[in-house]
Amino acid sequence: MTMETPRCCKFWLPRKNRFCANAPLNDSLFCGNHNPKSENQRIPCPLDPSHSILEENLEAHIKRCPLLKQTQSLELQPFYKKGINGGIDEEENQNVATLDKSVSESSDITTSEMKRNAVYKMTISEFSELIRKIEAVYKSICSDFRDSFKIPEACGIWMNKEVDRKIPFQEKHVTQQVSILGNLEEFGVLKNASKDVICDQPGEQLDCNVLSADVNWISAVVEFGAGRGYLTQMLADCYGIKKVLLVERKSYKLKADRSLRQKESLILQRLRIDIEDLDLNAVDSLKGVPYLAIGKHLCGPATDLTLRCCLPEQSIQHKAVHSSGICNLRGLAIATCCHHLCQWKQYINKSYFSDLGIRKDDFHAITWFTSWAVDADHGSGLSDIVDQGLCLHSIEKKACGEDVSGVEEIVKNMVAIERAVLGLKCKAIIDMGRLMWVKERRGFAAELVNYVPSDISPENHLLVAKNLYHL
């Protein structure tokens, strides 16, 4: 007697290199998710737009959506404060009390398409003036970034691949992580005392390189936008951090949690929450604990949300400061990323742009320009061309040409090197505002560096800071 092979959906999944494993509908070759007849009837789930549902099933789905239980559970946590780190838009704040909440929230995000359309609607003179303003600001306050590519001795076990073979090892990412920690060490936030430790046996080299909390004066690390958490994995391996808090709103496979939990003396906690809604001072495990905040490639406004989360200030939305006025932050390292996603409401230092004569619309144009920073070959001495400013002079010349019909034509006629130079300068201007904001916090020293060469990653800005009161 032979077993009948179960029927499967005939929708091909290219990423998995196989057909969908779900059972097809009775009258179709496809399952309910891939049935072509129902595509026009599907809508994004209002709770989690990453998946879609049949419009006719909307009411029933909302009651059982997997995200619903997670959201309800999160709202009960003491550290959940909706929008506490989100910032405000002063131009709209006067009427916020009279606006419907859903309408207010839906108007918060300015998409890349909206930014692009706004740029194309500029007059040629407005566009030319914005280019001149970008050039002037960059020359006056952004041209002194230093290169700081570091490979600290403490991270030798990673650079030499002396780690568990089950841990994913990608040289490009490891190099960036090593330099982040190396810059923290150079800045005086981390201390490598491995030279002072005497090993009893040769096989104990890894343990001897691990530092105690007393040596490092930092007993915990909070990684924002942690993803799989391998930056924290390296920090725990090389500098002996004993308490780990990973903040990430998404769920990931192949996380570092598995290997981190194997460290007997390490305490690990993962919070699945948006940084915008996190009151870090209300996390029980961090109360009174000196900590280091890190983040590798915090996309767009996530950098601004993280700065507010670690260095809380008066929140107009909640009419109160965070739950504790005591700052336990000892040091900070944030590698910024995806500046084209930045939003005016969430940006940490609006007064910086206002003082430069840059309005909200100009800010959105600047953020849109940053997406061009990867348009050229970053291994061809691009940084030298950026400092010369020759490409922006060329753009202004085109803007003044009599045969140009509009801004859209100017943009489309720009060569890759011109676009990349403009994008890099705009990224530097945005990050400089963040640096200035941190420096204005009492007792904090900060610096902005290029922590890896641009051919390793064009997203190579690192903001490092330390609390001078606790050195």
| 106-147 per-position pLDDT tens digit | 457 899 999 999 999 999 889 989 999 999 999 898 877 889
Would you say residue 207 has pLDDT above 60? no
Quote the CA–CA distance of 459 and 173 in Å, as a whole number.
12
Confidence at residue 73, expressed as pLDDT on a 0 to 100 scale: 85
Please identify which residue in the block is written with the tokens 């194997």: 262
Residues 436 and 345 in one domain: yes
Confidence at residue 381, expressed as pLDDT on a 0 to 100 scale: 55
Domain extent, residue 55, equals: 12-76
Would you say residue 183 has pLDDT above 90? yes
Q: Which residues pair with 247 in a beta bridge?
A: 224, 271
Identify the domain boundary among 56, 76, 96.
Answer: 76
Residues 291 and 439 in one domain: yes
Q: What are phi and psi of 300, to 5 degrees?
A: 50, -125
Please identify which residue in the block is written with the tokens 């960036």: 176
Would you say residue 337 has pLDDT above 90? yes
Residues 158 and 290 in one domain: yes
Average pLDDT score over residue span 46-53: 78
DSSP class of 55? G
Length of the chain: 471
Quote the CA–CA distance of 386 and 393 in Å, as a whole number.
11
Does any domain span residue 108?
Answer: no
DSSP class of 3? P
Residues 373 and 454 in one domain: yes
Confidence at residue 325, expressed as pLDDT on a 0 to 100 scale: 46
Confidence at residue 432, expressed as pLDDT on a 0 to 100 scale: 96
Does any domain span residue 461?
Answer: yes
Number of domains in the chain: 2
Does any domain span residue 322?
Answer: no
Confidence of residue 101 (pLDDT cuts 50, 70, 90): very low
Pairing assessment for the beta strands 220-224 and 291-299 based on DSSP bridges: parallel
Mean pLDDT of the chain: 81
Confidence at residue 184, expressed as pLDDT on a 0 to 100 scale: 95
Residues 134 and 28 in one domain: no
Residue 285 and residue 325 in contact, taking contact as beta carbons nearer than 8 Å: no
Residues 49 and 185 in one domain: no
Residue 30 and residue 11 in contact, taking contact as beta carbons nearer than 8 Å: yes
Degrees to nearest 5, angle at CA 184 with 446 and 156 = 165
CATH of the domain at 331: 3.40.50.150
Identify the domain boundary among 28, 49, 76.
Answer: 76
Residues 279 and 357 in one domain: yes
Residues 283 and 423 in one domain: yes
Does any domain span residue 248?
Answer: yes
Residue 235 and residue 229 in contact, taking contact as beta carbons nearer than 8 Å: no
Please identify which residue in the block is written with the tokens 């490598």: 192
Confidence of residue 387 (pLDDT cuts 50, 70, 90): low
Confidence at residue 322, expressed as pLDDT on a 0 to 100 scale: 43
Please identify which residue in the block is written with the tokens 């029980």: 284
Quote the CA–CA distance of 419 and 371 in Å, as a whole number.
9
Q: Which of helix, strand or coil describes residue 298?
A: strand
First-to-last C-alpha distance (Å) of the chain: 77
Quote the CA–CA distance of 459 and 461 in Å, as a whole number.
6
Degrees to nearest 5, angle at CA 462 with 441 and 265 = 85
Q: Which residues pair with 52 in a beta bridge?
A: 44
Residues 48 and 159 in one domain: no
Confidence at residue 53, expressed as pLDDT on a 0 to 100 scale: 80
Give percent of the chain above pLDDT 90.
Answer: 42
Quote the CA–CA distance of 80 and 276 in Å, as a whole number.
9
Does any domain span residue 274?
Answer: yes
Does any domain span residue 404?
Answer: yes
Please identify which residue in the block is written with the tokens 């909200």: 360
User: By CB neighbour count within 10 A (0-12 exposed, 13-18 middle, 19+ buried), where does 346 fall?
Assistant: buried
Average pLDDT score over residue span 376-384: 60
Residues 63 and 121 in one domain: no
Confidence at residue 262, expressed as pLDDT on a 0 to 100 scale: 87
Element (H, E) at 337: strand 329-337
Q: What are phi and psi of 339, to 5 degrees?
A: -65, -20
Residues 36 and 123 in one domain: no
Residues 297 and 383 in one domain: yes
Quote the CA–CA distance of 33 and 169 in Å, as a whole number.
36
Confidence at residue 212, expressed as pLDDT on a 0 to 100 scale: 40
Does any domain span residue 24?
Answer: yes
Strand ranges inside 12-138, DSSP E: 12-13, 18-19, 42-44, 52-54
Quote the CA–CA distance of 410 and 120 in Å, as a whole number.
9
- C-alpha dihedral sign at 147, 179, 425, 140: negative
Would you say residue 404 has pLDDT above 80? no
The radius of gyration computed from the CA coordinates of the chain, to the nearest angstrom, equals: 25
Quote the CA–CA distance of 187 and 292 in Å, as a whole number.
13
Average pLDDT score over residue span 10-36: 85
Does any domain span residue 198?
Answer: no
Q: Maximum distance among all alpha carbons in the chain?
A: 84
Distance of CA 369 to the CA centre of its chain: 18
Confidence of residue 91 (pLDDT cuts 50, 70, 90): low
Quote the CA–CA distance of 134 and 122 in Å, as a whole number.
16
Confidence at residue 344, expressed as pLDDT on a 0 to 100 scale: 96
